[in-house]
Amino acid sequence: MGKSSKAKRGKGKSIGGSFAAMPENLLHSRAYAELAPSAAKILAPMIYADGVFVVHRGGADFPFTYADAKRHGLSSATFSRAIKELTAKGFITPAKHGGLRGSCKIENRFKRSERWKKYGTPEFEEVKRFDESRL
């Protein structure tokens, strides 16, 4: 008889790394079902910024850079589209527009949003990606 996969790993050893639990109502929502694969792929790393589910941080904004997205396998163009889609469907709200010009070199900052719960209903509130006057 062959050894079980747990026996092969060794006692007490995990399969690998940590995991990110997603709320069930989020996973079964219309907004999540309509996400493009790239936006769905980057959602968990964004809302688990710094390894903490962002809702537990009192609505504080969090950074998520293009370098972070690249580490998760997204190109700059794909990440840009994912940000637009996650904003449009109510998962995140842009908090601060970053940039690399001058000495500022500020990263984009976002806030986790609960607007996705009302996605597809008349109560859904749309927001702009970033303040258009700054662009």
pLDDT for res 22:
81
pLDDT for res 29:
95
pLDDT for res 36:
96
pLDDT for res 56:
45
One digit per residue, pLDDT tens: the chain, 135 residues? 555 555 454 555 544 566 667 888 999 999 999 999 999 999 988 877 655 555 544 567 888 888 888 988 899 999 999 999 999 999 998 887 776 655 566 778 888 888 999 999 999 988 876 544 444
Q: In the chain, where does DSSP find H-type helix?
A: 5-9, 24-27, 30-33, 37-47, 66-71, 76-88
Q: What is the dihedral of CA 66, 35, 112, 125, to 10 degrees?
A: 120
Please give the domain boundaries of the chain with CATH numbers for all domains: 26-121 (1.10.10.10)
